[in-house]
Amino acid sequence: MSSRIDVCVLDDASAVAVAAAGLFAELLRRRPDAVLGLATGSTPEPVYAEMVRLHRDEGLGFARARAFNLDEYLGLDGDHDQSYRFFMQKHLFDHVDIFPWNTFVFDGKTADPEQECLAFEAKIRAVGGVDLWLLGLGTNGHIAFNEPGSDPTSRSRVVTPDAETAEANSRHFADPAEVPTEALTAGVSTILDGRQIVLVALGAHKADAVARAIEGNRSPDCPASLLQGHADCTFLLDRAAASQLS
Ligand code: F6R
């Protein structure tokens, strides 16, 4: 089966960041109250830096936007410097005019994780769905914390990240033993319900996962390959990440 994923290969990380931020800028200019779907991790950092620049230098407005984040560690407070809430404040929310009450990141300290997931899905429904999800990609093909084997119909839920993911994420923690063993994540279906998806991947260490996502079978073995079923999905890649594509 041929993939429906659009692929755009650019020279380097900064060109990819400009292109990804440009998609959000175009959306916000067309629809100022757009619903943004956001990711954390190393890959989106330059994307957010470009969004902040567009806000500062070109007046890109977020005052009517709503933003939902893909995932959060279970057990970490939003003030913890490794929480995804902390990351979003640091890299985007504190530097643009988005209102705090319009930013939705799972509460990692929730007493009722299942209810937190149901509430997250309900909030997305209440605002009419996500217009544009920004995704990164795990070296094992994960999207958000949907690890290999994730059900294509899955919704937001509590998950246990794979050892490979925990190992990759441990680089951000002073002590690897501190990496939370559970997380809250948007499901594969929650992501596929978005009207538009842009996945960003940078570097040779993502090349194998990129090739499996785009040219491999559409299978839960590589959750990103499930994006092949989406009508408007683009992969923005640097040359290294695209190097194993035929
Ligand atoms: C984080 C997320 C994850 C990352 C992935 C890649 O919100 O959704 O799936 O996108 O683990 O992380 P980086 O960009 O650090 O390589």
Residue 97 phi/psi, 5-degree rounding, is -95, 30
Q: Which of 31, 227, 35, 14 is nearest to 135 (CA)?
A: 227
Specify the number of domains making up the chain.
Answer: 1
Q: Do the beta carbons of residue 103 and residue 93 sit within 8 Å?
A: yes
Q: Kindly report the CATH number assigned to the domain that includes residue 181.
A: 3.40.50.1360
> Is residue 223 lining ligand 1, measured as CB closer than 6 Å?
no
Task: Give the pLDDT score at 106.
Answer: 98
Please tell me the residue having the least CA distance from ligand 1 atom 8. Answer: 144
Choose one of 68, 71, 76, 133 to mutate for the ligand 1 pocket test, by most ligand atoms within 8 angstroms of C-beta: 71
179 part of a folded domain: yes
Ligand 1: centre distance to CA 58 (Å): 28
Q: Is the pTM of this model over 0.85?
A: yes
Identify the active-site residue in 55, 69, 71, 230.
71
Ligand 1: centre distance to CA 187 (Å): 14
245 part of a folded domain: no
Per-residue model confidence as pLDDT tens for the chain (246 residues): 456 899 999 999 999 999 999 999 999 999 999 999 999 999 999 999 999 999 999 999 999 999 999 999 999 999 999 999 999 999 999 999 999 999 999 999 999 999 999 999 999 999 999 999 999 999 999 999 999 999 999 999 999 999 999 999 999 999 988 999 999 999 999 999 999 999 999 999 999 999 999 999 999 999 999 999 999 999 999 999 999 999
Q: How far apart are CA 2 and CA 74, in angstroms?
A: 37
Q: How far apart are CA 7 and CA 198, in angstroms?
A: 10
> Is residue 138 lining ligand 1, measured as CB closer than 6 Å?
yes
188 part of a folded domain: yes
> Is residue 40 lining ligand 1, measured as CB closer than 6 Å?
yes
44 part of a folded domain: yes
Residue 77 lies in domain:
5-238
> Is residue 72 lining ligand 1, measured as CB closer than 6 Å?
no
246 part of a folded domain: no
243 part of a folded domain: no
Tell me the per-residue pLDDT of 158-207, one tens digit each, with 9 for 90 and over: 999 999 999 999 999 999 889 999 999 999 999 999 999 999 999 999 99
115 part of a folded domain: yes
Choose one of 145, 164, 169 to mutate for the ligand 1 pocket test, by most ligand atoms within 8 angstroms of C-beta: 145
Give Cα 126 distance to the centre of its chain: 20
201 part of a folded domain: yes
Task: Give the pLDDT score at 2.
Answer: 56
Report the run of H or E that residue 7 belongs to, with start and end. Answer: strand 6-10
Q: What does the DSSP 8-state code read for residue 93?
A: G
Q: How far is CA 117 from CA 43, 112, 142, 184, 187, in A?
A: 25, 9, 19, 7, 10
Task: Give the pLDDT score at 4.
Answer: 87
Q: How far apart are CA 113 and CA 125, in angstroms?
A: 19
